[in-house]
Structure 1
Amino acid sequence: MTFAARPLRLSTADAGFDAALAQRLHWSAEVNAQVEDTVTTVLAEVQRRGDAAVLEFTARWDHLEATSVAGLELTQAELKAAFDGLPAAQRAALEAAAARVRTYHEAQKKASGESWSYRDDDGTLLGQKVTPLDRVGIYVPGGKAAYPSSVLMNALPAHVAGVGEIIMVVPTPRGEKNALVLAAAHLAGVTRAFTVGGAQAVAALAYGTQTIPAVDKITGPGRDYVAAAKRRVFGLVGIDMIAGPSEILVLADGSTPPDWVAMDLFSQAEHDELAQSILLCPDAGYIAQVQAAIDRLLPEMPRAEIIAASLNGRGALIQTRSMEEACEISNRIAPEHLEVASADPHRWEPLLKHAGAIFLGAFTSESLGDYCAGPNHVLPTSTTARFSSPLGVYDFQKRSSIIEVSEAGADKLGRIAFELACGEGLQAHARAAEMRLKR
């Protein structure tokens, strides 16, 4: 069967451009009533019945029968055996990717994840104490595809941060385990792993069961039921983000081979029908070349049907008046992945404010970031890059303020605090400060 992909063609010179762009960008994060009802039931049952509910829902939806949740746990020996059993090329690739991801996050910890302090002239000590979380849960998708890269991207920054226990949950429908996922868990230092998925896995991590320990934070991507469950348990535990469909925006000046750009657009479109791929370029002729490359390359793709549905439903090829305007529109979109396919990417990078990750230059395909470049591939979607950041070491740490006031400091600060506390009508605050003043 042949599939055609015709992303929406837009021009910023068109009178209705803003409305057309807004319509193309629209994606509702709202979950439907059936999902909400199911998740409500699952959370309540796991909280009430623990292991028994986890077993029931795992049998119902993953068709995986077990007599106990302990029977769903993957042993460290099983994880290591999966790693040892990989073909040499796969094992080497996994090790190389893990080393790069670890090195990047170690640098990140050094730059932004260390405690610090200083003393005032009066001897008062002020600072910040950075400590790792005690226990985190990482959710690894395991339905339509297996994602060993997600194991690395979630577990390694937690490990670098110093998290004491990393609990992994991964669905294994009908008991089908992916050796690469298990090997990645071994390599990334996962403490315990369970073949449980869906809302019941999120519930088990949030509330704890007789076998699965409760965690402090849950990270990792998932579809509707997982996202809804994470949203509901937030507050009891921390979460990383509620991720929407995958996105790529390519900012092109016409210097990159059009086949490369077409394939980069495919790289996100193949995730699912709701993924979004957008090209911004001031050169109409180059946009036409990219469309021709799409037409030529699409029949070769195993996931051509999904790519075509994604590009037809949410894709766009946009002609801008200039590269400067393209940068402005990119900031408005705030994409998850932003490729600057330019002969001089550093000319445009200072103009780009909002993106989950920025890939500079023709040779920097987004797919390298997904697997092995080093920075985290868990990124904000749906314009949330305006205020959110990639998953990192800092997501697995917390910060406590450190205050040690000297005698001289208590006299100076106490007079300030006394006046402000009186102004707020909080007399005990004022008196507590006043008692430490020098007479």
Structure 2
Amino acid sequence: MAANKESSEANLLLRLATIKDLDVLEALELSCFETDRLSRRRLSFWIKAEHGILVLAEKAGEVLAYGLVILRKGSRSARLYSLAVRAEARGQNIASDLLLKLEELSVEKQRLFMRLEVAEDNLSAIKMYKKLGYHKFGIYRHYYETGADALRFQKSIQQSTVADSMRFYPWYKQTTEFTCGPSALMMAMKYLNSDTRFDQTTEIDIWRHATTIFMTSGHGGCHPLGLALAAHERGFEVEVYSTQVNDLFVDGVRSEHKKSIMRIVEQGFIEQASELGVQVHKSEIYMSKLEEALALGWGVICLISTYQFDGKKAPHWVAITHADERCLYLHDPDGSEGFYSESGDRLDASNRADVGESEDIDLDYQHLPILKEDFASLSVFGKSKLRTCLVVKPRTAGRKTAGRKTAGPKNS
């Protein structure tokens, strides 16, 4: 389908922006917004970005509006990041025509949902979004530079309904590149018990309890049994589903010495899980069982391969938050704009605290819609085709909790 389109408004042309439009885009941004502006550099970036759609509304050769949608790789959702209409052009349905065009282009990119944030006092915009079929499903306090709250809206642009049935599910951003497992587990535990701590101390402590010591490079990842034991220690009941429990990540390690240490740690996990009565199913969790666990309000975390997200075949833990007829929804703890230091400063890939003008795209990592047929290929890792998942439940009355038992050598 052609990117250019004549809208229902006479002589209004909707087209993709090019780098030649940068000057007029910058002027439009400055005239429409006093705060939360996109810089010239970022506008240039989004014009050229493969994971962005930037469309202009033009009449008689004059650009009157633009809309920017961000597409996250591996997800079926799109996010309306910015929508700007010149003051003199408002009231002409340009914004709604522009948004419908962005929805159309997002569908062509195989997206199922459009999401957006809007200031709660922007009543005209809220009215337009509702008229176009958007439904409120959340709120973020003090989201804008002005201190205003942001309402979150969502629309199924391929005629599925989910927003109204979503329950609140807490999201936690991992603070290191190797603590996705603890972060996913913390989300599930917080969902079940609001008293669960959301802090880096808890995150690192769980990692020390669950780590396999080594990975292909860098710090070790988290074993499903190690995470299950960490959850058990914190008062939860856990069922582990795993197609294998031995030699989970050794294929990625070349050193025989490191492999031997990983096997010692793994055997410790196995023995301790048996001693504490942690249920371990040596099979994958089938979709019907996974959906049943979610329907019962239990927490579910799963190991996936990140290949569909970033082209890297790395193991990565996520929390599964919801399910409907077509999709599963994921909370991914790994936002793409870097990690955080102990003082809370956002870091870039080089661990520098100044990352410049990075968009706050953490929202794009919450309730990510994944088609169920896509999840089948997403949730398999490594040469052994490992599939593993944890179902986390509130502790049944009468079950005893044992203290921690060292499962092998760890850093002191």
Question: TM-score w.r.t. structure 2 length?
Answer: 0.27
**Higher strand share goes to which structure?**
2
Question: TM-score w.r.t. structure 1 length?
Answer: 0.26
**Structure with higher RCO (Cα < 8 A, 6+ apart):** 1
Q: Bigger radius of gyration, 1 or 2?
A: 1
